């Protein structure tokens, strides 16, 4: 009795086993050839905040409320980001459509017809009705039995595409936040340079008054006056160029945040704190958290599923159809006893000769998978390079800032000595002008280096996909 029972259940077990299989390769994450850690050391001789875990909103570490407001506005109103969100909604709908294919399709049908018969045909008789009437209503069902996993591979590809679109959105969010932060730091650097230029101009105007007094006393020639006026004109031109550059960056921030015409008040770059330094030996696996890396891998998963989708065309396609309803001559008899109808069918379609069409599609799917694999590997390698570049920039800009600070200190001392020598009559005014120019250039260079150091920190946060954990 038991062997006979097992024999009868064997076809059902075979069908269930086949339904659990899917043709094509299952996704296996490829090995990455990247080193285990980033060898670059970001610690510099300049002071910095201790290493700590970074929050998702890493820009708040700069302690600037205006920057926080701008980035919050950009994450809501940036046009590129809003387009990315719309693409996610499209991919979500496509994934739901693919998932619905795993369930039967049920339709409600209703029909009515009146057909007049020709009296000139051989089948007509005096007992034939003048008009044939038919009324029907019912439910129809159609369902593809996913024996070879075609529907499941399609659903797998759609889900991977959905995740890829979400990671693409996150990548744009990270990019928008980074662009706003970088442009804002540039704006603050220009504010600081405008303040330095204003101080230098005030100093040169004071020096020009001293020159006029010495010329009036007959102690120096009018040449000093011409040199003093030329030095002031140089700084005034410098101010105009800085104001122009600041206005252009302000316009760029308005575009990035989706707020045309937004004014941004002046502030000083030196008021911003230095961001935390990354710990020694950052693991290279951190770049797996980058949204663009995750997006590339989901594209690879979708392409891998596409191979199974293409190979499923080699095998027969089974479909189950059924119907349940009623038919009658009149509408009043449509749901009476004896009017019921039903149908149940199983169909199969087996490709016999397609002249290599399916083979070509499989080859295409495999080529697309290879392209996606290369794209993922390149994304990993690019991410690794960007982190290394940012670590080096952060380290070297810190050392450069310390050197620039020494340059500023020495330039101030030299200017003080030059002014005293000129007032005492020991040197020409050209020596004062040279010292003033050196002091102005040194202060501007220090601001530029500080901005480059903060921008390197922004690039590191972006390259790591947002930061690093506490451990």
Which pLDDT band holds residue 366 (cuts at 50, 70, 90)? Answer: very high
Of 124-128, 234-238, 334-338, the range with the lowest mean pLDDT is 124-128
Quick one: 268 exposed, middle or buried, by C-beta within 10 A (0-12, 13-18, 19+)? middle
Taking the C-alpha atoms of residue 274 and residue 141, their distance in angstroms, rounded to an integer, is 66
More confident residue, 252 or 115: 252
The token pair that represents 171 in the structure block: 């990548």
How much is the average pLDDT of 214-237? 81
Percentage of residues in the chain having pLDDT higher than 70: 87
Residue closest to 255 by CA, chosen among 73, 6, 41: 73
Which pLDDT band holds residue 403 (cuts at 50, 70, 90)? Answer: very high
Residue 91 lies in a domain: yes
Residue 468 lies in a domain: no
Residue 36 lies in a domain: yes
Please report, for residues 15, 147, 265, 275, 320, the alpha-carbon distance to residue 12 in angstroms, rounded to integers and kept in the order given. 5, 13, 75, 65, 16
The token pair that represents 275 in the structure block: 């961001």
Residue 123 lies in a domain: no
Which pLDDT band holds residue 20 (cuts at 50, 70, 90)? Answer: low
Q: pTM of this prediction?
A: 0.80
pLDDT digits (tens, 9 = 90+) for 318-355: 888 888 878 877 777 677 777 778 888 888 888 888 88
Q: What is the pLDDT of residue 42?
A: 47
Torsion over CA: 63, 64, 65, 68 (sign): negative
The token pair that represents 305 in the structure block: 């599923």
pLDDT digits (tens, 9 = 90+) for 165-206: 999 998 889 999 999 999 999 999 999 999 999 988 888 888
How much is the average pLDDT of 409-418? 93
Taking the C-alpha atoms of residue 468 and residue 371, their distance in angstroms, rounded to an integer, is 30
Which pLDDT band holds residue 7 (cuts at 50, 70, 90)? Answer: very low
Residue 188 lies in a domain: yes
More confident residue, 84 or 410: 410
Residue 333 lies in a domain: no
pLDDT above 80 for 119 = no
Alpha helices in 258-356 (DSSP H): 291-311
How much is the average pLDDT of 99-118? 74
Q: What is the pLDDT of residue 208?
A: 76
How much is the average pLDDT of 14-35? 73
Torsion over CA: 298, 299, 302, 308 (sign): negative
Of 4-13, 215-224, 259-268, 328-337, the range with the lowest mean pLDDT is 4-13
Computed over every residue of the chain, the mean pLDDT equals 82
Neighbours of 387 (CB within 10 A): 24
pLDDT above 90 for 241 = yes
Q: What is the pLDDT of residue 11?
A: 45
pLDDT above 50 for 375 = yes
How much is the average pLDDT of 434-457? 92
Taking the C-alpha atoms of residue 458 and residue 312, their distance in angstroms, rounded to an integer, is 47
Residue 425 lies in a domain: yes
Q: Which single residue is written with the structure tokens 């024996």?
A: 147
Taking the C-alpha atoms of residue 414 and residue 438, their distance in angstroms, rounded to an integer, is 9
Which pLDDT band holds residue 53 (cuts at 50, 70, 90)? Answer: low
Neighbours of 85 (CB within 10 A): 15
Q: What is the pLDDT of residue 54?
A: 67
- Domain range holding 39? 32-104+147-314+360-463
Q: Total structural domains in the chain?
A: 1
Q: What CATH number should be reported for the domain holding residue 184? A: 1.20.1600.10
pLDDT digits (tens, 9 = 90+) for 277-314: 777 777 888 888 889 999 999 999 999 999 998 998 88
Residue 22 lies in a domain: no
pLDDT above 70 for 68 = yes
The token pair that represents 409 in the structure block: 């200190």
Residue closest to 177 by CA, chosen among 289, 253, 65: 253
Q: What is the pLDDT of residue 127?
A: 65
Q: What is the pLDDT of residue 146?
A: 81
How much is the average pLDDT of 204-215? 78
The token pair that represents 196 in the structure block: 């330095």
Q: Annotate 193-241 with three-state secondary structure.
A: HHHHHHHHHHHHHHHHHHHHHHHHCCCCCCHHHHHHHHHHHHHHHHHHH
Q: What is the pLDDT of residue 40?
A: 66
Percentage of residues in the chain having pLDDT higher than 90: 34
């Amino acid at each position: 009795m038991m062997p006979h029972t097992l024999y009868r259940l064997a076809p059902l077990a075979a069908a269930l086993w086949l339904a659990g299989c899917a043709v094509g390769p299952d996704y296996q994450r490829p090995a990455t050839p990247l080193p285990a850690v980033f060898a670059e050391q970001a610690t510099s001789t300049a002071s910095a905040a201790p290493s700590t875990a970074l929050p998702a909103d890493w820009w708040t570490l700069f302690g600037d409320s205006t920057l926080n407001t701008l980035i919050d506005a950009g994450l809501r109103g940036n046009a590129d980001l809003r387009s990315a969100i719309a693409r996610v909604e499209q991919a979500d709908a496509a994934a739901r459509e693919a998932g619905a294919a795993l369930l039967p399709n049920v339709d409600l049908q209703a029909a009515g017809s009146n057909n007049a018969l020709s009296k000139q045909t051989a089948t007509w008789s005096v007992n034939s009705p003048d008009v044939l009437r038919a009324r029907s209503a019912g439910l129809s069902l159609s369902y593809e039995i996913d024996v070879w996993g075609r529907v499941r591979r399609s659903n797998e590809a759609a889900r991977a595409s959905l995740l890829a679109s979400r990671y693409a959105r996150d990548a744009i969010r990270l990019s928008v936040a980074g662009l706003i932060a970088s442009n804002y730091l540039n704006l603050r650097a220009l504010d600081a340079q405008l303040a330095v230029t204003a101080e230098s101009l005030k100093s040169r105007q004071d020096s020009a008054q001293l020159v006029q007094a010495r010329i009036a006393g007959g102690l120096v020639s009018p040449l000093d006056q011409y040199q003093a006026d030329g030095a002031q004109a140089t700084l005034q031109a410098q101010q105009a160029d800085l104001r122009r550059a600041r206005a252009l960056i302000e316009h760029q921030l308005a575009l990035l945040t989706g707020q045309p015409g937004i004014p941004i008040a002046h502030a000083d770059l030196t008021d911003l704190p230095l961001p935390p330094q990354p710990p020694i030996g950052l693991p290279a696996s951190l770049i797996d958290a980058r949204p663009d890396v995750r997006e590339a891998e989901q594209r690879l998963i979708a392409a891998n599923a596409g191979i199974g989708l293409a190979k499923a065309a080699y095998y027969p396609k089974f479909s189950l159809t059924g119907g349940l309803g009623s038919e009658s001559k009149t509408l009043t008899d449509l749901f009476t006893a004896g009017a019921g109808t039903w149908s149940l069918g199983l169909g199969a379609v087996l490709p016999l000769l397609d002249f290599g069409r399916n083979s070509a599609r499989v080859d295409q799917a495999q080529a697309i998978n290879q392209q996606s694999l290369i794209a993922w590997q390149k994304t990993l390698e690019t991410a690794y390079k960007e982190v290394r570049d940012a670590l080096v920039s952060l380290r070297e800009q810190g050392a450069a800032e310390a050197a620039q600070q020494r340059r500023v200190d020495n330039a101030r001392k030299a200017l003080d000595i030059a002014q005293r020598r000129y007032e005492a009559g020991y040197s020409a005014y050209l020596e004062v002008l040279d010292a003033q120019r050196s002091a102005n250039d040194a202060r501007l260079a220090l601001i530029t280096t500080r901005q480059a150091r903060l921008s390197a920190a922004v690039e590191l946060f972006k390259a790591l996909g947002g930061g690093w954990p506490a451990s």
